A and B are shown apart, each in its own frame.
Chain A
Amino acid sequence: EIVLTQSPGTLSLSPGERATLSCRASQSVSSSYLAWYQQKPGQAPRLLIYGASSRATGIPDRFSGSGSGTDFTLTISRLEPEDFAVYYCQQYGSSPPLFTFGPGTKVDIK
């Protein structure tokens, strides 16, 4: 079973700053099957990035994803007020459990 670890647990930043979030897998993950989600309080998650680096429909270009193998990164180039939220990475594999979420990184206002 692949385990995803996200760091840091909490990231305290100011609007306009750059956010760099890490997702590390316990074994190699196909880049095609690594996604990132944003969740705001009281809302369902929203798909941001799929295939490690492709933005989902309607996602602003300040969000970017990169990485391969076991190390993946979500970068928010300049934080907007609406970007303060929890971010989850997720992988999709061929053996159970098919989908695994990381524990999340909370980006909060400094």
Chain B
Amino acid sequence: EVQLVQSGAEVKKPGESLKISCKGSGYSFTSYWIGWVRQMPGKGLEWMGIIYPGDSDTRYSPSFQGQVTISADKSISTAYLQWSSLKASDTAMYYCARKQTGGFGYWGQGTLVTVSS
């Protein structure tokens, strides 16, 4: 069974750094792109970026380029999304999702990130 399991909720202060994770299982982790999607409170879905764990090829949405870093460790089948300096506006639910033909077919359960002083 394909599963994407994300790390737990985080509460951080502005300016702090953060790295959240997404662990894949039940499939060949290196063979599928993993994307990250942001959902701010009460809002829609925004695509942030995507990584191919097989060779770490990474693409970012222009809206998120330079704001976050996406990486993967294929030895432990885990993708990451990280911030070097959080802002209050980064408060959101973050989803990882596995890309397949035509769309994102499998999603993680989401990681809620709250940034507040």
* Interface, chain A (partner B; CB < 8 A): 32-33, 35, 37, 39, 44-47, 50-51, 54, 56-57, 88, 90, 92, 96-104
Contacts and interface: CB of A to CB of B under 8 A. Distances in A.
Chain B contact residues, majority secondary structure: strand
B44 A51 contact: no
Interface string B32-72: 00010100000011110010000000011111000000000
B103 A56 contact: yes
A108 to B, nearest CB: 15
Nearest to B4: A44
A32 B47 contact: no
Could you say which interface size class chain B belongs to?
A: 20 to 34
A96 B103 contact: no
A45 to B, nearest CB: 6
A84 to B, nearest CB: 17
A92 B103 contact: yes
Interface in B59-90: 59-63
Nearest to A45: B107
Contact of B110 (A44, A51, A88, A92): A44
Contacts of A39: 45
B103 A88 contact: no
A32 B109 contact: no
Task: Please name the 3 residue pairs, one residue from A and one from B, whose CB atoms are nearest each other, closest first.
Answer: A50-B102, A35-B103, A99-B47
A50 B59 contact: no
A96 B62 contact: yes
Contacts of A97: 47, 61-63
